[in-house]
Amino acid sequence: MSKKRVVIAGMGFGGLRAAKALAGSGFELTMVDRNNFHLFQPLLYQVATAGLEEEAIAYPVRALTRHWRGASFLLAEISGVDLAEKCLLTDAGKVSYDYLIVAAGSRTNYFGMESVATHAFDLKRLDQAEDLRNHILLKFEQASREPDYQRRAALLTFVIVGGGPTGVEFAGALRELIVYVLSQDHPDISVADTRVVLIEAADSLLTAMPSDLREYACRKLRSMGVEVLLENRVVGATAESVELHGGAVIASHTLFWSAGVAAAEMAGYLLGVERAAAGRIVVQSDLSIKDHPEVFVVGDMACCLQEGVPLPMMAPVASQQGTYAAKMIHARELGNTLPPFRYFDKGAMATIGKSCAVATAAGFRFRGYIAWLAWLLLHLYYLIGFRNRMVVMMNWTYAYWFQERQVRLITAKKRRAASLP
């Protein structure tokens, strides 16, 4: 009797956890992704702010799977799912399955604002981080030779939308890059000439955290020179300006968007299934979709209710769901049952700058140096590959002691068409 075939679509956090749990356990395992590497997305902003090389936060999938019995990898673009025929449609042909785990992640949500989608940068892919780094460095090069004061000010104004962990971490890292590195590289540009503006629609940053940590993060960013605008919304943008909902306009050539995510395009390939807000697929308590118990959706694409509220679109949720889906497949084959999926919240954290972060874990709250150290150690732990851990640790150590960023290379003078949102 042939082995049952499990296909995993997407090798993000959820897909990787599922693959690890299924590898070598008697299934024919096929992993499909448009990239040949697993990307550690939480550190993309450090690539964009010249803190890390691209290779330090990515790891080849084939290097992971070479010792996994019964596992194979297919580099392909997914174009559809035939639920009736139980096959995945790709540009490399059809891939049949007995079980399917959909873990394709998310895309940036611009909430229908086409002008923002056209002109904003986001961080979902490795090449986007490189493009954003090139753009930031080029703005300083252009400003250093710009005679017009107003245009120079716009070139040196960087607007960040979204006060969640990504926006807060990017704002802090960008401000430190400007203060400690770029202002030294460009003696004709002073720190006072630059602006980093963080815009959040809610009345506080990091809304998922306790109020004292939210206030601390806001105070710390402002003390670093970041302009924090709360209860403000961006409603439009051009190549040289950002428009707020009250009619105010910020002259800026750089807009970074981290204010929302939606299910990846692959969600649209699952025809006839129930969807929730942001295009997420509604799943059953065992993470399968209704009428198709052999198909599981995990991570950002899945709308899984807990206490009546959808679980957040975060890496820890995706990781736990990936492991659960693998266990569920094992249980099905053995004729066993499992209790419904339940997410265990281990806490949350966000770094603000050097020696400064906020974190919650097991009911405790941390801030400052201790939270920052915990953030460093946890991210090093979850990185894949000994070399990557060593490279990241050495970069962080060097930056800590010398306040320097070595990866400030302009590798392309024009934003590649493939990186456009």
Active site residues: 169
> Is residue 121 within 8 Å of residue 256, measured between CB atoms?
yes
DSSP string, 387-399: HHHHHHHHHHHHH
Q: Give the chain's end-to-end CA distance (angstroms, integer).
A: 47
Distance CA 68, CA 66 (A): 6
Strands of 280-363 (E only): list them.
281-282, 288-289, 292-297, 302-303, 305-306, 309-310, 348-353, 356-361
Going by C-alpha positions, the residue among 97, 104, 102 that lies closest to residue 6 is 97
228 membership: H or E segment, kind and range: strand 226-230
- Strand-pair partners of 87: 82, 96
Chain centroid offset of residue 153 CA: 30
Greatest Cα pair distance in the chain: 76
Phi, psi angle pair for 288, to nearest 5°: -85, 165
Q: How far apart are CA 37 and CA 233, in angstroms?
A: 35
Contacts with 23 (C-beta within 8 Å, 6 or more apart), sequence order: 29, 65, 68, 69, 70, 71
Half-sphere exposure of 394 (CA within 13 A, CB side): 10
Q: Shortest CA distance to 102 belongs to which of 261, 369, 284, 300?
A: 300
